[in-house]
Structure 1
Amino acid sequence: MPARAEAASAPDRTYLARQPLLDREGNLCGYELLVREDASNYAAIDDLRAATARVIKRVIGEIGIESVLGKHVGYLNVSREILLSDSFDVVAPDRFMLELPPDLHVDETLLQRLAELRAKRYRFVLDAITRPDETFALLLPFAEAIKIDVSRCHPETQTVLVRALKARGKTLIALKVETMAAFEATRKCGFDLFQGYFFAHPEILTTRRVHTPRHSLLRLLRLIELDPSLTEIEAELKRVPALTTHVMRMANLQACRHGPTSSTTLRDAISAIGTSRLGRWAQLLLYADDSIASLEHNPLAQLALTRARFMELAVDRMPDVDADDAECAFLTGVLSLVEAASGDSLDHTIRDFPVSDTVRAALLRREGVLGTLLSAIEALELGNWDRFDCIAEQIASPTTPNLAELAAQAAVWAGSADQSLSELERPHHGMPRSTAASAGVSGRL
């Protein structure tokens, strides 16, 4: 998402995306920042070098690492020119892994520079390795982690590399893991971290057991839609001890932050939270595990949160939008990934869910305003800049907000949405500029 939105006609637009890295349990543990100078020529290495330099100086130096990465580690592509420059004055060594490309020109000058940076606690990753060569051998002593392109590395070579590099204490990252089969194979092979189109193929996340009482959540959500009494909500929550415990914890967490009074009964907790927040909280728990722990390290939940907030922000700022669309935007984003979270089909899930025809059309057929916005955020997640631009043009009007900028706001919000119940409120037009300018998933500088 964009760190800073510029006019669409600006000739030097830079596209920024972040792609998640997951550990062996499927937990989110870092983001690689991907940058492209031009949507129509995004693979050009010269453009990549220039854009990376701009990301270092503008996104990291001006906006703030927390807004871009939250508490996670960032993986940043660097070129020889960047390594030899003074750009590292604004790069925090404890927050980034610096990725060295496989075609890096290595000489004594570069090796000396790498030694200097490592002495300052900078960490390096050898990127996109397919086979060992002279460059690999020269850079290996400086690398803490190795990314192996499993889509192009021969299986026998991959096995030998993993065994040898693990013996040397290196962290092994499987790059371009696109399918369930590839994920299982690389995990069995011994890789530590995994990167690829996990969110384009979210079924791989179903390898994590999801024990959240899903039917109880759906029942609670159906009840909330009927404008229930406090007694009815209390009775429903008492049917599921895990939900009762979490409601009490959430209410008391809010009390600690906003006042000295704590909730001593379930009824007090429900009153403190409020029906609206309780409903949104229940939606988000569709992505939680049996401990109903923090959503911060759950990659699928982070994606669903970002989608939901993006759609809500966009609809809330669009002219002549039907009131039903505005109310349904957040729910559409949340439900768009529930199939991956539950292992059940989307069609079957929403059959049991109190959704309107508007939401159903958006989810199943990408129809209407909500369907168009859902397609837009999906294009951003995949770094499909051309498709995103095409969709944005379809819904453009003089008062339509910059969708990429709203996607940035959504990503920042998603990173902290479970830290306070107040974050589950509906958006407001008067969002601070510092938040509006923060980077997260994809967009333009």
Structure 2
Amino acid sequence: MDQAEEMQAKPAEAGKDDGNVASIARQAIVDEKRDVFGYELFDRSVDHNAHTAASDAALLFNALSYAGTEALVGKKTVFINCTHESLSGGHLELIHPDRVVLEVPALAPDASDEAIAECIPVFNALRQRGFRLAFDQNLLRRAYAAWLPMASFIKLDMLTFELSRAEALVKFAQSHTRAQIVAEKVETAEQFECMLALGVKLFQGFWFAKPQLVQARTMRPMQATIIQLINLVRRQASTEEIEELLKKDPTLSFNLLRFINSSGFGLSCEITSFRHAVMILGLKKLFRWAALLLTTSRADGSPPAVGQTAVIRGRLMELLTAEMLPAEECDHAFVVGVFSLLDVMLGQPMEKALESVALPQNVVDALVHNSGPFAPFLELTRACESADDASFARAANALQLSNHQVNWAHLQALAWADDLNTENSAA
């Protein structure tokens, strides 16, 4: 029995998590001998809402950063359901692909041939990086013929077809792809025996195991410290400065060391010092990790989207000031935007929230007193989020910016926050 199987696990319906517990359901995928081949993971946190663009990729990131994949799946392969949007997200940049299978859904029933073809470059890029892709039986439809070479796994849902059709489906998949077939939602011995006789080697379903809820206690760093780390990385601080910050926040440093030593990161040796971790990760990946940590962590009572909104504000502030202020001031503008929701994230008045970090006076003035050079940009940034056209026009006019300029910057900020593309984030 591997480490994952030794952990406390309960049926997925049971129990609720608190703010410091990561609740992730896993369901075993077994081979013909009923040995565990891998686990499919599902987010079962209380505050998990309907899918966002990166929700499932974020689940994998959270598993690495907060719970640790060793606790969840041992040394087994991880299957993660993805949206097409999340396949291009920044979360996957940090994941070592060797033991990760990305489950890709079919497009909408009315998807055009062009839309189906447009997915191919994304699939190819993921495969070149080492990820394996799994598809459902929609892949066997004529419209998806171009996707067939992309498949490492094809999951056949036993609840969607009669056993009399199984042989035709399996033989078609075997003759047109090199993919391993997974019979999923297997609920009877008859289904298992039928698929086994057809040469299927992998199985998933209630007949083998129901999803189990794995609850792992988390240690989440203060969001203020995460933002401070982001700021250090953005100005390319020395390894010594970053190491000093990590030493001041045990939870932040603990999460970094756990993440970089997780099997998902793919290192062959254990990293035990903060300095070594920073050097191995590099500033670009360190920034991506910190920004993702910010968007997926939250204080009690803070809506989960707050961190994402803060990152969008920071990038938008940076873009709006890029043509009007010196480069150093643009960095400060980024901090103003990211810190502008700190009171919400920490559940404290802004002035109290800022006591934990040392900031330039003009940043404090904008956040606390709504004054100074950054205040008009912050007002415009907030107006971009509202439906108040008058406020938007007033704020844009005050800075002599056109609607086109502001809207374009806002779109860029939204896109940047979605994929956290560090190559495009330098001021």
Q: Same fold (TM over 0.5)?
A: no
Q: Give me the TM-score of the superposition, normalised by structure 1.
A: 0.40
Q: Give me the TM-score of the superposition, normalised by structure 2.
A: 0.42
Higher relative contact order (CA 8 A, sep 6+): 1
